[in-house]
Amino acid sequence: MLRLRCKARSGSHPLPGLTAHSRLRDMQAALAALTGVPVSAQRLLLGFPPRSLDLSDGERRLGELGIHSGDTLIVEEDTSKAKTDSPVVAKRTMSNSVREAVPVLARRVVPADNSCLFTSVYYVVEGGVYDPGCAPEMRSLIAQIVASDPESYCEAVLGKTNREYCDWIRREETWGGAIEVSILSKFYQCEICVVDTQTVRIDRFGEDAGYTKRVLLIYDGIHYDPLERKIPDSDIPPQTIFSTSDDIVLAQALELADEARRKRQFTDVNHFTLRCMVCQKGLTGQVEAREHAKQTGHTNFGEV
Query: Which amino acids are annotated catalytic?
Result: 113, 116, 223, 298
Question: How many Å apart are CA 197 and CA 224, to the nearest integer?
Answer: 11
CA-nearest of 106, 105, 103, 108 to 121 is: 108
**Beta-ladder partners of 301:** 276
- Sheet containing 282-284: give its strands across: 282-284, 273-276, 301-303
Secondary structure in 3-state letters for the chain: CCCEEEEECCEEEEECCCCCCCEHHHHHHHHHHHHCCCHHHEEEEECCCCEECCCCCCCCEHHHHCCCCCCEEEEEECHHHCCCCCHHHHHHHHHHHHHHHCCEEEECCCCCCCCHHHHHHHHHHCCCCCCHHHHHHHHHHHHHHHHHCCCCCCHHHHCCCHHHHHHHHCCCCCCCCHHHHHHHHHHHCCEEEEEECCCCEEEEECCCCCCCEEEEEEECCCCEEEEEEECCCCCCCCECCEECCCHHHHHHHHHHHHHHHHCCCCCCCCCCEEEECCCCCEEEHHHHHHHHHHHHCCCCEEEC
For residue 49, is the peptide bond before it cis, meaning its omega torsion is within 30 degrees of 0?
yes
